[in-house]
Chains A and B, each alone.
Chain A
Amino acid sequence: MKKLFFVLMLMISLLFISSCSVVKIYNDSFIALGTVIDLTIYDNDDALKHYKEVLNIMRNITKASSAYKQYADSSVSIYALNENKVVLNDNKYFDILKELLNYSIEIKNTTNGYFNPLIGSISFKWKDIIEEYNKTNDSSVINFSSNEINNYLSKINNSELVITEDYIELKGNALIDLGAIAKGYATKKAIEYLDNASCNKYILNAGKSNIAFGTKPKKEFNIMLTDYDTKDNKITNIGNIVGNNMTITTSAMGEQSFYYDGNYYHHIISPIDGYPKSYYTTVSIFNLDPMLSDAYATAIFSMDIDEAKAFIEENDLETILYSNIGNKGYIYKSIKVGDYFHEN
């Protein structure tokens, strides 16, 4: 009887201990930067405060970087710069825009022009074509002639940004599109805030393409890396990323794409010749400043495999290149990719 009593007490104690170690989870989502941002914070009494702060950071960056919409409280934005060619330093969004554009110019140089913030006139037109085709399935919407593209490329090459403490000026007839860097920049700013606030048990998912996480209580994060095949409308599991304290950035053809007459049309446009390239269908970069990896993944998308490998080695990147296209389907893993990647 004593033995029975002892075992029951032991079970009750175990139950008590396990109930004490329940992980507190705060999770919520919001729309910013044209996507859904999902933030989960573990074991933190100030989780709601941190969530609101991250929301605020990302919404401010949305207002400054949007090329599609003029927000009522922000006269300083890419939209305003594209419309008016100049914005003045008269509100809080100016500093965000200035920093974002300075980084963009720097990255344009380090990627030899494969990332270019002045790509707007061409990228906006391709985005319209993709949206229209996916709505109508009408191939006549692919009406972007090579002459027209060359004309835009010449405008891009003859334009420049002048950035001062008092104003930002867009000289020339190019348009700015920061779609390839804004989400990464916002993710960078959000995780800087979380780190400074000593909030290190979290996962931030910015539209699936930019993911950053700290440590997960009890076990590691396990993120599935997938590829979308626009031709067959099929999702493939490339592999799983298992670990803590990482960033994952992915550029992919994804759903903003279509296949017609042997060609893939998607939203990642080469600033070199103005066309979408199909060397890869997914490019992922791990454990780098999310802003840099966002812009680099976009740049690599338009490089052929030799150029891409040289760039990856030169910048010591942890990168996976994946293609699902026909017989060329393959996966390339840079030397730096660690044991955290489990190929499917």
Chain B
Amino acid sequence: MKIKRDLILIGILISISLVFLVIWFVNNNDIGNYAVITHNDEEVVRLPLNTDTEYEILGDISLMHIHIKDGYVYVHDSGCSNQICANTKKTNKKGAIIACIPNGVIIKVIKV
């Protein structure tokens, strides 16, 4: 009888540990779930990374096309002169930033 109770106890402890492990993993992996787009310090839109989207924004000097595909965000094209934003690799990492300085646009991956 005692052994049975001990086994139940061990089972409960393992289950609780697994629940904590899942919670820890969900909270601590570095994959984001939204791309927040700001223009001149104002948040313009929040796009979920789990939905393929093509978003157009008029920056300070040109139009920009921001795409979300397969969970990643990237600048498809921009009319800026240096093209640093369009050459930045697609990302889904929490805290990652893609910026177009001439257009005053920041795209930031967050996790909510």
Interface size class of A (residues with CB under 8 A): 10 to 19
Find out whether the CB atom of A27 lies under 8 angstroms from the CB atom of B41.
no
B106 CB-CB contact with A under 8 Å: yes
Q: Please report the C-alpha to C-alpha distance between residue A329 and residue B5 in the assembled complex, in whole angstroms.
A: 65
Size of chain B's interface in residues, with CB distance under 8 A? 20
Number of contacts between A and B (CB, 8 Å)? 42
Nearest A residue (CB) for B98:
A36
Q: Please report the C-alpha to C-alpha distance between residue A35 and residue B106 in the assembled complex, in whole angstroms.
A: 10
A29 CB-CB contact with B under 8 Å: yes
Q: Please report the C-alpha to C-alpha distance between residue A131 and residue B38 in the assembled complex, in whole angstroms.
A: 25
- Majority secondary structure of chain B interface residues (helix, strand, loop or mixed): mixed
Find out whether the CB atom of B41 lies under 8 angstroms from the CB atom of A30.
yes
B81 CB-CB contact with A under 8 Å: yes
A3 CB-CB contact with B under 8 Å: yes
Question: Interface readout for A1-27 with B: 1 if CB under 8 Å, 0 if not?
Answer: 101100110010000000000000001
A224 CB-CB contact with B under 8 Å: no
Q: Please report the C-alpha to C-alpha distance between residue A55 and residue B41 in the assembled complex, in whole angstroms.
A: 10
Expressed in whole angstroms, the minimum distance between the Cβ of A7 and any Cβ of chain B is: 6
Expressed in whole angstroms, the minimum distance between the Cβ of B103 and any Cβ of chain A is: 9
List 11 interface pairs A-B (beta carbons < 8 Å), by A numbering.
A1-B5, A3-B9, A29-B38, A29-B97, A29-B106, A31-B99, A31-B101, A34-B101, A135-B83, A255-B84, A255-B87
Given contacts A36-B97, A134-B82, A135-B81, 8 further A-B contacts (CB under 8 A): A3-B9, A4-B8, A8-B12, A31-B99, A35-B99, A38-B97, A55-B41, A131-B81
Sorted nearest first, the 6 A-B pairs with minimum C-beta distance are: A36-B99, A29-B106, A36-B97, A11-B16, A131-B82, A4-B9
Where the two chains meet, the residues of A that have a C-beta atom closer than 8 Å to any C-beta of B are 1, 3-4, 7-8, 11, 27, 29-31, 34-36, 38, 55, 131, 134-135, 255
Where the two chains meet, the residues of B that have a C-beta atom closer than 8 Å to any C-beta of A are 5, 8-9, 12-13, 16, 38, 41, 81-84, 87, 95, 97, 99, 101, 104, 106, 108
